[in-house]
């Protein structure tokens, strides 16, 4: 399986704190993407980082990529209760066509 | 644009029954995929398509068939439903190319008794 792994599986924090989630993958990649899933809903794209990039920002999101360690991290700053969701990383696994998803991190932000 | 639509939203089948999960997108995306999501397993790729008439297997294709006769539609067929196919099924689409985000449908929750 080319499925990646998110770490931790679950994370509970207080509103205003930062949340960091990590993702490891197994094969070479063209890009790595992060998605969010609210309970009972489909996934929504958050951010994409290319294999030749090391860091990318979008609003309160910061993504890093370390291709030598085959790992990525997603940082959500100043978290809000509305950030409560599952977060998934997805990688192309060297394919031009497929996206392979990890098992996700369940983030709970307590008001 | 409606984006990616899936029908039905919920379905209950008996073991051995067959059915088709419908997926359509109105964004003219070349790539379409089917995933299943099970607790603790994340999303696993069932089948995918890179254009009309072209499909390929993903990670867990057994028990499922797909076809892509048009750019818009990508139905998933369960040939003989089994309890192990109880899951939430997501259809997704994205434009061709390496650096494009994927758009997901709302999902179909399937229970096989």
Select from A53, A58, A45 the least CA-distant residue to A89: A45
Backbone angles phi, psi at A77, to 5 degrees: -95, 155
Q: Indicate the residue of A40, A44, A104 with minimum beta-carbon distance to B42.
A: A104
Handedness of CA A20, A24, A29, A34 (dihedral sign): negative
| pLDDT number for residue A3 | 61
User: Residue B31 pLDDT > 90, yes or no?
Assistant: yes
Select from A4, A38, A16 the least CA-distant residue to A109: A16
Q: Are the beta carbons of A103 and B42 separated by less than 8 Å?
A: yes
- The angle formed by the CA atoms of residues B33, B36 and B41, to the nearest 5 degrees, is 125
| pLDDT number for residue B73 | 98
Above pLDDT 90, what percent of chain B? 88
Query: Higher-confidence residue: A1 or B53?
Result: B53
Alpha-carbon gap: A16 to the closest alpha carbon of chain B (Å): 28
Summary mean pLDDT of chain B? 95
| pLDDT number for residue B107 | 96
User: Residue A59 pLDDT > 80, yes or no?
Assistant: yes
Q: Looking at chain B, which residue has its C-alpha nearest residue A2?
A: B59
How far is the C-alpha of A2 from the C-alpha of A100, rounded, in Å?
Answer: 7
> What is the pairing mode between strands A100-101 and A31-37?
unpaired
Running DSSP on this structure, what letter comes out for residue B72?
S
> What is the pairing mode between strands A71-76 and A55-58?
unpaired
User: Residue B15 pLDDT > 90, yes or no?
Assistant: yes
Q: Looking at chain A, which residue has its C-alpha nearest residue B48?
A: A98
User: Residue A6 pLDDT > 90, yes or no?
Assistant: no
**Encoded tokens for A8:** 């931790």
For residue B101, is the peptide bond before it cis, meaning its omega torsion is within 30 degrees of 0? no
- Write down how long chain A is: 111
Q: HSE (CB half, 13 Å, CA atoms) of A58?
A: 11
User: Residue A13 pLDDT > 80, yes or no?
Assistant: yes
**Encoded tokens for B100:** 């494009």
**Encoded tokens for A46:** 């958050």
Per-residue pLDDT reduced to its tens digit, B44-94: 999 999 999 999 999 999 999 999 999 999 999 999 999 999 999 999 999
**Encoded tokens for B73:** 């539609």
Per-residue pLDDT reduced to its tens digit, A79-103: 999 999 999 999 877 677 788 888 8
| pLDDT number for residue B41 | 79
**Encoded tokens for B91:** 């259809």
Q: How confident is the model at residue B2 (pLDDT cuts 50, 70, 90)?
A: confident
How far is the C-alpha of B81 from the C-alpha of B62, rounded, in Å?
Answer: 11
Alpha-carbon gap: B61 to the closest alpha carbon of chain A (Å): 13
Q: Are the beta carbons of A101 and B107 separated by less than 8 Å?
A: no
Q: Is B39 on the interface with A (CB under 8 A)?
A: no
Q: Are the beta carbons of A103 and B99 separated by less than 8 Å?
A: no
| pLDDT number for residue B76 | 98
Q: Are the beta carbons of A33 and B101 separated by less than 8 Å?
A: yes
**Encoded tokens for A48:** 């994409």
* Cβ pairs bridging A and B (under 8 Å): 63
Summary mean pLDDT of chain A? 91
Select from A47, A50, A49 the least CA-distant residue to A58: A47
Q: How confident is the model at residue A35 (pLDDT cuts 50, 70, 90)?
A: very high
Q: Indicate the residue of B58, B59, B101 with minimum beta-carbon distance to A45.
A: B101
From chain A, the residues in CB contact with B60 under 8 A are: none
Q: How confident is the model at residue A40 (pLDDT cuts 50, 70, 90)?
A: confident
Handedness of CA A83, A85, A86, A91 (dihedral sign): negative
């Amino acid at each position: 399986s080319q499925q990646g792994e998110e770490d931790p599986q679950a994370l509970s924090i207080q509103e205003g704190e930062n949340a960091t989630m990590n993702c490891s993958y197994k094969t070479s990649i063209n890009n790595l993407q992060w998605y969010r899933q609210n309970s009972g809903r489909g996934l929504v794209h958050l951010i994409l980082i290319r294999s030749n990039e090391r860091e990318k920002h979008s609003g309160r999101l910061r993504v890093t990529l370390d291709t030598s360690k085959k790992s990525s991290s997603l940082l959500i700053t100043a978290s809000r209760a509305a950030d409560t969701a599952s977060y998934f990383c997805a990688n192309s696994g060297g394919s031009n066509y497929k996206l392979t998803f990890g098992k996700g991190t369940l983030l709970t932000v307590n008001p | 644009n409606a984006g990616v639509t899936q029908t039905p939203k919920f379905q209950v089948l008996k073991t051995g029954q067959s059915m088709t999960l419908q997926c359509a997108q109105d964004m003219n995306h070349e790539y379409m995929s089917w995933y299943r999501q099970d607790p603790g397993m994340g999303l696993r790729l069932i089948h995918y398509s890179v254009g009309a008439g072209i499909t390929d297997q993903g990670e867990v294709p057994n028990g499922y068939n797909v076809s892509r006769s048009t750019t818009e539609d990508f139905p998933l067929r369960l040939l003989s439903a089994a309890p192990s196919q109880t899951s939430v099924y997501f259809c997704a689409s994205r434009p061709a190319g390496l650096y494009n985000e994927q758009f997901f449908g709302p999902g179909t929750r399937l229970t096989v008794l």
